[in-house]
Structure formats: structure tokens, C-alpha cells
Amino acid sequence: MAEAGTAETHGAHAHDAHHEQGFWSKYIFSTDHKMIAMQYMFTGIVMALIGGYMSYAFRMQLAFPGQSVPGYGLVSQGEYNALVTNHGTIMIFWVAMPMLIAAFGNYLIPLMIGADDMVFPRINRLSYQIFLVSALVLIGSLFVPGGGFGGAWTAYPPLSSSAEYSLTPLGSTLWLVAVALEFVAFLLGGINFITTLMNARAPGMKMYDIPMVLWMIVVASVLFMASVGPLIAGAVMLFMDQVVGTGYFDPGRGGDPILWQHLFWFFGHPEVYVVFLPAIGIVAEIICTFSRKKLFNYKLILYTVFATAIISFFVWAHHQFVAGIDPRMANVFTITTLIISIPIAEMIFLYIATLYGGSIRLTTPMLWALAFIAEFMIGGITGIFLGASGSDIYFHDTYFVLAHFHYTFFPIAIIGFLAGITYWFPKMFGRMMNETLGKIHFWGTIAAFNSIFIPLFILGTAGQHRRIYNYQNFPDLADMQGLRVFATTALLVMLAFQAVFLFNFFYSMFKGKPAGKNPWKANTLEWTTTSPPPHGNWAELPNCYRGPYEYSVPGREEDYWPQDVPPDTAPAE
């Protein structure tokens, strides 16, 4: 079955490569997976800049309460809430998701499996178009009367379901519509990813020959599709509560606000792994290439991925320990939460073990990949404090939580993206990025990032709670202002360093050194076509003869062995 499907897709697309494309069909209404990946990526970068600007505005308010923020103005209480709410929403749903899953998924899946496009190119185009609409609706929701939604990205009712309480009648509804549209876009994308990986692989590419990043993206897509259903049901109910006045979450009319929390977190916790897996998959590719090593125990890593994915469905209520659930439930969810730490820790160990015996080159992408491991470990271990019910009674909804998840999401969304973009930039644009600028950007970002969030761990431990626009209102918290100013200053430094990246990115796109087909001497199939790949990807589609990580194989002169090189052309031993 798979064989026949593969042959068919290969044949059908051979013609497309020769079509002349006009501006509209090439850039705007393209069905080419590479162009759709670019659309997702650039939209993601724009949204990241908007989300970053929001963090600038509210961090300035926290450090210098009540003063006009340069480039923003005065931050009112309502605006502060809208800023933190939409910062979170944007960074997760409109930055992490499009950049990691959609951009890299679209770009890499066909190229790494030796296919000329996705199997459903038009669904792919529709997916991006819906995504773009969702982004516009979200941005629009900030400018309607009453202002943007300010009920936190978790949108707990009754605050989110009732305009009387939230005072943002249009803002909350548009926010919800935007999030729902975004889910539709990713459902369409996910179907495409899974089908393509399963059916369109190059002849000879067996299950264990698939590059790890693709496994991770596809497992993430399956996770997303399996978990998003309950949330969409919840979103419909919430929408009905807001617009029609039903009482699904209104205790006064037989509803239950806690129901939303279960539906939300049943999706919300797997969602963490939905974005985590593609990021750590990217890291796997980079670490292997730049340590010239085979991935340490490919199968075991894959099993830890499956285990993580399955267990992630059973941990959601650890977000709700003190939310009024039956206290006995906390015991169950403490156990499942600590169980999930085992495959994740093992996965990290396996990555570290991959470095053993390597020949490590610290290029910019490698630095980002290693930084991912180093920073994510802090995020992982601080999660134990929160997964353990006893200590969560205290840490729940403090800045400790905030710092913890920024130590997971920043490595995922930002470091993961930067690792991937610096690694595949030569393939995407045919030119090399500047290494010196890349390293300046790396060290500036990493140093500043840690300087932002380590103080926030301290503030959280001292009892500072989240989503407060001015801590001077709380006498016990008021005199820790020094740490807040420090964190905000570090944020300004970090944002400033992103200018280095943007310059490097756009300058190198046009003026960088030509990259050639395979600048990193990597094995996977995307490096066997020209950079950038043509429409249709290859003049003649490649075959696959071996696994993706055959680096430094004894007896071979070269320390890499691309997947498409037939065995008989190997130098004699």
C-alpha cells in the first residue's frame, strides 16, 4: 500500500516542477509546502515581535508603576490584563505553534522524506489562510470598544463567559473566535503532516530511518488532534455562554465553572508537549550533525517520545490542585505528573549521551541546540515543585510558576526556533548566516534571558502572585522592587539583542555567502537538493538507503554518509 501511494505521488508531481509561476500563485496563493512554511514563519516572526512588544509594555509598568511607558503610554489596569493575556495567547498559539509545527513541519517533512510536496497541498494552503484570519481577528480584538480580553490565557469562566464581569464584551468573544480558528488551521495542518509522513516517504525509508524531528512533529500533531476535541467543545460552550446566554459554566443556572478548567487543561497540558516535541526534535538533528555522531539509541528516544505523549493525557489536573477539585484527586495527579518526569528525564539523558565520543563543533545552531538542553532542564526540574501537590499549595499562581514555564516555553518557542532557523537557513535561502553576529546574538539573548527569569523565581518564592499590575498595592511585596527593575532591564537588553538577529537574518538572505547543497555535511535528504530547493524539490526524487544519523562510520573516509547514497558507491573498506 505504502509503496503504491509513494510511487503515485512521486509521478503526479513531476510536471508541477516545470510550471512557470506568477507572483500571486508563487507568494500568496501558493500550494508549495516551502512557501507555506515561509508564510507561517514570517507571520510567526511578526506575531513574536508583537508579543515581545507587549511584554515590554507590561514589564515596564511593573518596574516603574504608573509611569508612562515610552512607545506605549500609560498602562491602565484593564490594559495590563489584556496585555498579559494576549502576550500568553500570542506566544503559545501564534508563535510557538506556527513557527515550530507549521513552519518547520511544512518545510521539513517533504524535504526530509524525499517527497516533492505535501500530499494535500490545497488543504495546506487553506490551513495557512485560516491561520492568517485567526491572527488578524486576534489583533483586531485588541482595538474593539471595551478593549482586548483580559481574563488570562486560560480564560476561566465565569469571568470569561460574562461581559458583566469581564467588562470586555467584544474582546472576549473575538479572542475566543480567534483561538478556535487557529485550532481549525492546525487540525488541517496536522492531518496533512501525518498523512504525508506515513504515505509519501522515499522508497527505502523505513520507520526507523525517519529523521527524529519528523517523528516528533508527527507525534505532536497526533497529540494535538487527540486533545483538542474537548477544548473545542468547551470553546463552543463558552461562546454560547457569552453570546446566547446559555449557562454551561454559570453555577447560578446549573452550570459549573470547573468543567471549563478540565476541558481546557485536558488540552492545555498535552499542548505543552505539542510544542516541546518539534523543538527537541530540531535539537536532535543539530546535535547529531555537529557532534558527527549517531543519535544515542534512536529507538529508546522514540519510545520515550511515545511514553511522554501518552502520559501527557493523564496529568492535566495538576493545574487545578487548589481550584476546588476533590482533594483526593490531587494524589492521583501528583503520581502521574511525577511519572511523566521519567521519560522526559531519560530523553534528556539520551541527548547528553549523544555528545559522548563526538567531534563537537560549536557553530551557532549547535550553541542554540545545547542551550535548549541546558535551559529546558531548569524548566523541567522546577516543574517537580509544582507537580508535587504539597508544594503547589504554596507555589500555585506565583511567579515561581511563571518563571518555570518561561524556562520551558522560551527554550521551546524561541531557542528551538532559533536553533532550527540558523541550521536550515542555508537550505531555505541558499546563503549562510553570519557566524560572528550569530554568536553575539546567542550570548546576548541567553545571558539576558536568565537574568530576566532567575529573579522571578526569587520573587515567586517570596510569595509574589501573578497578573498584578502594581505590586505597590501589597505591603509585603512592595519592597522587592529592585528585582523587578532588574528583570525588566534584562528584558530590554534581550529585546535589543533581537535586532542583531533580524539584521543578520535579512542581510544574510540577500548578501550571505552562497551555501551550496550541503554546507553542514549532514546526512538527511533535504541536503541532497539545491539550496533553495526548486518547486518540486528534486529534479529526480531520491531513494533512501540507510538511517539519518550514519556519521563517522568506521572504514569510511568521509565522516558522513547521506541517506540517498547507494551502498555500492561507498569506498571499499
Partner 1 sequence: MLQGIYDFIKGIFEPLGDYLVGSALPVGSSFAGDIDALIALIAVMVGFWALLAYAAFFFLIFRFREKKGKKAKYVTGEEKNLKRWITYPHAAIIVCDLVIVFMAIMVWYNIKQRLPEADSTIRIISQQWAWNFVHPGPDNELDTDDDIITFNELHVQEGTTYHYELLSKDVLHDFSVPVFRLKQDAIPGRIMKGWFKPTRAGEYDIQCAEMCGIGHGIMGARIVVETPEEHAAWMSQSSTGKLASR
Contact with partner 1 (CB under 8 A): which of 210, 309, 370, 421?
370
CA distance 268 to 273: 9
What does the alpha-carbon distance between residue 230 and residue 232 come to, in Å, rounded to a whole number? 5
Q: Give the range of 122-130, 195-203, 292-300, 416-424 binding partner 1 by CB under 8 A.
A: 292-300
Whether 395 contacts 363, CB under 8 Å: no
Cell numbers placing 6: 509513494
Q: Is 324 in the site for partner 1 (CB under 8 A)?
A: yes
The least distance separating partner 1 from the CB of residue 119, rounded to whole angstroms, comes to 32
Q: How many residues bind partner 1 (CB under 8 A)?
A: 98
End-to-end CA distance of the chain: 37
Compare residues 27 and 443 and give the one whose CB is closer to partner 1: 443
Nearest to 201 by CA among 186, 218, 224: 218
- Residue 92 CB, nearest approach to partner 1 (Å): 16
**With CB under 8 A as the contact rule, which of the stretches 14-22, 29-37, 460-468, 489-497 interacts with partner 1?**
460-468
The reply to whether 251 sits near partner 1 by the rule CB under 8 A is yes
Question: What is the full DSSP assignment across 74-138?
Answer: ---HHHHHHHHHHHHHIIIIIIIIIIIIIIHHHHHHHHHHT-SS-S-HHHHHHHHHHHHHHHHHH
Residue 303's identity, in one-letter code, is Y
Is residue 388 a contact partner of residue 340, using CB atoms and an 8 Å limit?
no
Q: Which of 192, 31, 190 is nearest to 119 (CA)?
A: 192
Rounded Cα distance, 554 and 378, in Å: 37
- Which residues inside 94-153 make contact with partner 1, applying CB under 8 A? 150-152
Give the three cell numbers for residue 192: 496533512
Sign, CA dihedral 544-546-552-558, equals: negative
Per the CB < 8 A criterion, the answer to whether 379 and 405 are in contact is yes
Q: Quick one: CA dihedral 218, 220, 222, 224, positive or negative? A: negative
- Least distance to partner 1, CB of residue 40, Å: 30
Q: How far is the CB of 404 from partner 1 (least distance, A)?
A: 12
Tell me the closest approach of the beta carbon of residue 380 to partner 1, in angstroms. Answer: 9
Binding residues among 371-410 for partner 1 as defined by CB under 8 A? 373-374, 377-378, 381, 384-385, 388-391, 393-398
Among 21, 66, 443, 476, binds partner 1 (CB under 8 A): 476
| Region of 52-60, 126-134, 370-378, 419-427 interacting with partner 1 (CB under 8 A) | 370-378
Choose, by CB under 8 A, the member of 58, 298, 316, 527 that binds partner 1: 298
The contacts of residue 182 (CB under 8 Å, 6+ apart) are 93, 94, 97, 130, 131, 134, 135
Q: Are 161 and 249 in contact (CB under 8 A)?
A: yes
Q: Which of 129, 195, 246, 341 binds partner 1 (CB under 8 A)?
A: 341
Distance CA 204, CA 563 (A): 10
Which of residues 361, 435, 443, 482 is near partner 1 by CB under 8 A?
A: 361
Q: In the block, which residue shows the cell 486533545?
A: 227
Nearer to partner 1, 69 or 348 (CB): 348
Q: Please report, to the nearest 10 degrees, the dihedral formed by the alpha carbons of residues 350, 408, 474, 492 taken in order.
A: 120
- Which of 14, 477, 483, 509 lies at the binding interface for partner 1 (CB under 8 A)? 477
Closer to partner 1 by CB, 188 or 401: give it.
Answer: 401
Q: Which of 13, 292, 404, 406 binds partner 1 (CB under 8 A)?
A: 292
Q: Which of residues 259-288 bind partner 1 (CB under 8 A)?
A: none
> Would you say 78 or 204 has its CB closer to partner 1?
78
| Separation CA 356–CA 297 (nearest Å) | 12
Between CA 154 and CA 152 the distance in angstroms is 5
Among 243, 352, 483, 570, binds partner 1 (CB under 8 A): 352
Among 158, 270, 411, 548, binds partner 1 (CB under 8 A): 158
At residue 73, the 3 state secondary structure works out as strand
One of 2, 12, 335, 502 touching partner 1 (CB under 8 A): 335
Q: Is the peptide bond before 365 cis (omega within 30 degrees of 0)?
A: no
Binding residue (CB under 8 A) for partner 1 from 56, 80, 186, 405: 80
State which of residues 34, 87, 262, 293 lies at the interface with partner 1 (CB under 8 A).
293
Q: Which is nearer to partner 1, 253 or 513 (CB)?
A: 253
**Least separation in angstroms between CB 393 and partner 1:** 6
- Selected from 25, 199, 246, 470, the binder of partner 1 by CB under 8 A is 470
x/- binding map, residues 163-202, to partner 1, per CB under 8 A?
--xxx-----------------------------------
Q: Rank residues 184 and 322 by Cβ distance to partner 1 and give the closer one.
A: 322
**CA-CA-CA-CA dihedral for 500, 505, 508, 510, to nearest 10:** -130
Binding mask 495-534 for partner 1 (x = CB under 8 A): ----------------------------------------
Taken as a whole, the chain contains a residue count of: 573
Among 132, 180, 323, 495, binds partner 1 (CB under 8 A): 323
How many whole angstroms from its chain centre is CA 77?
30
How far is residue 348 from each of residues 83, 278, 356, 378, 570, measured CA to CA in Å?
A: 34, 14, 13, 12, 34
Site for partner 1 contains 74 (CB under 8 A): no
Strand partners, 69: 73
Regarding 439 and contact with partner 1 (CB under 8 A), the answer is no
- Whichever of 78 and 430 has its CB closer to partner 1, that residue is 78
**Residue closer to partner 1, measured from CB, 22 or 324:** 324
Among 5, 140, 230, 358, binds partner 1 (CB under 8 A): 358
Residue with smaller CB distance to partner 1, 131 or 296: 296
Alpha-carbon span 51 to 490, nearest angstrom: 17
> Residue 34 or 292: which CB sits closer to partner 1?
292
Asked if residue 207 binds partner 1 (CB under 8 A), the reply is no
Q: CB 572 → partner 1: shortest distance, Å? A: 18
Question: Cis before residue 158, ω within 30 degrees of 0?
Answer: yes
Which of 21, 502, 553, 566 is close enough to bind partner 1 by CB under 8 A? 553
Residue with cell 516541546: 276
